[in-house]
Homo-oligomer: A and B are copies of this chain.
Amino acid sequence: MKSLFILKIGGKVIEDQALLDEALQAFVQQEGYKILIHGGGKRASELSKQLGIPVQMMNGRRITDAATLEVAVMVYAGLANKNIVASLQALGCNAIGLSGADANAILAHKREVKDIDYGFAGDVDAVNVNTIQTLLEGSLTPVFCAITHDGQGQLLNTNADTIAMQLATAMAPYYLVSLHFCFEKPGVLLNADDHNSVIPILHYNDYQDYQADGTIYEGMLPKLDNAFTALQKGVKEVRIGDVRAILEQKGTTLQY
């Protein structure tokens, strides 16, 4: 089985050109098959604000109305994705930028309306493994933004961590997949204010305890839920940390 290195870079890495360059250089240094997934950063919120589109939040999640979706498509699939692809090309990596609509790579459905209508938020149904394999075998490096589609012509906004998890688990039967979440912190922290408190190995049982006692909270929870799901579904290795941690195999490694 061949190895597949999957790197997800978060919003705050995208926002800082020096950090982004460092992350892309680290990515390019990985040999063999690789896939990049990127968030959007605050640029989408800034653009919404400039255009007078109100940012609507509900339970910490953004409501994606039609105007907000257009901004997300412009910033994620346009500005962020194409600049990352052009930067990777300059580093000698034959990158190809994709949304889930491109080559029908990631199919999703509009999140069902129960108590809350999240608008054009997409929950992933399927990853088109064959197509991604065709690109990888053709010496191309897929670079995914966090936009998917429903197969009926509708683009959808999907969480980038979720896309990373879905891609990693879909590829796991065919490759030895290592999944790396790169963000602005050196790893999962025991104390959110102390960058020296990285948990080197986070077992699932301990994660549950940390969650119960409030040591790990808020934004880290969906990220870690995604990460543990990947591990549970056959991804060989999941690591979380900053660029340096990913490069030097430090940060936090998850274990079931």
Contacts and interface: CB of A to CB of B under 8 A. Distances in A.
Interface of A: 50-51, 70, 73-79, 81-83, 85-87, 89-90, 94-99, 101-104, 131, 134, 138, 140, 147, 149, 151-155
The 10 closest A-B pairs by CB, nearest first: A78-B78, A74-B74, A90-B153, A74-B78, A86-B101, A96-B103, A86-B149, A77-B78, A134-B138, A85-B101
Contact of A90 (B77, B97, B134, B152): B152
A99 B82 contact: yes
Contacts of A151: 89-90
Interface of A is mostly: helix
B86 A97 contact: no
B73 A82 contact: yes
Nearest to A51: B50
A154 B86 contact: yes
Contacts of A70: 79
A144 to B, nearest CB: 12
Contacts of A76: 78
Contact of A96 (B51, B78, B87, B102): B102
Contacts of A101: 82, 85-86, 89, 95, 97
Nearest to A99: B82
Given A73-B82, A77-B77, A78-B77, A97 B102 contact: yes
